[in-house]
Structure 1
Amino acid sequence: MTTIESQRSAMVESQLRARGISDPHVLDAMATIPREAFVEDDDRSRAYEDRALSIAAGQTISQPYVVALMLEAARLTPEARVLEVGAGSGYAAAVAAQICAHVHAVEFHAELADLARGRLATLGIGNVTVINADGSQGLSDFAPFDAILVAAGVDEAPDPLKRQLTVGGRLVIPLGDTRSQALCVIERTGPEDWRETSLGGVRFVPLVGEHGR
Structure 2
Amino acid sequence: MAGAVGPEFRGARRRLIETLQANGITDLAVLRAFDMVARHAFVPTGVAHRAYEDAALPIGNGQTISQPTVHARSLQELRLTGRERVLEVGTGSGYQTALLSHLAAQVFSIERVPALLDRAREILAQLDVRNVSLLLGDGTLGWRDYAPYDGIVVGAASPDVPLPYAEQLAEGGRLVIPIGTRDEQTLCVFTKRNGALERRDVGPVRFVPLLGAHGWQS
Alignment of 1:195-206 (within 5 A): 195-206=198-209
Alignment of 1:80-91 (within 5 A): 80-91=84-95
> Counterpart amino acid of 2:205?
V
Deviation at residue 57 of structure 1 after TM alignment: 1.3
State how far apart, in whole Å, the 1-side matches of 2:47 and 2:130 are.
Answer: 25
Q: What stretches of structure 1 of length at least 5 have no aligned partner?
A: none
Secondary structure of 2:15's counterpart equals helix
Deviation at residue 56 of structure 1 after TM alignment: 2.1
Q: Quick check: 1:70–1:149 contact (8 Å CA) kept in 2? A: yes
Deviation at residue 2 of structure 1 after TM alignment: 2.8
Of the three residues 4, 13, 18, the one matched with 1:13 is: 18
Normalised TM-score (structure 1): 0.97
> Counterpart amino acid of 1:117?
R
Q: What stretches of structure 2 of length at least 5 have no aligned partner?
A: 1-5
Deviation at residue 179 of structure 1 after TM alignment: 2.4
Secondary structure of 2:201's counterpart equals strand
**Paired position in structure 2 for 1:146:** 150
Runs of 4 or more consecutive aligned structure 1 residues displaced over 4 Å after TM superposition: none
Identity rate of aligned residues, in percent?
45
**Paired position in structure 2 for 1:211:** 214
Secondary structure of 2:102's counterpart equals helix
Instruction: Check if 1:4 corresponds to 2:13.
Output: no
State how far apart, in whole Å, the 1-side matches of 2:154 and 2:174 are.
Answer: 11
**Paired position in structure 2 for 1:56:** 60
Deviation string 1:13-55 (CA, Å, 9 cap, x unpaired) is: 12x1111111110000011100000011101000011110111
State how far apart, in whole Å, the 1-side matches of 2:78 and 2:125 are.
Answer: 25
Q: Quick check: 1:116–1:130 contact (8 Å CA) kept in 2? A: no
Alignment of 1:37-186 (within 5 A): 37-186=41-190
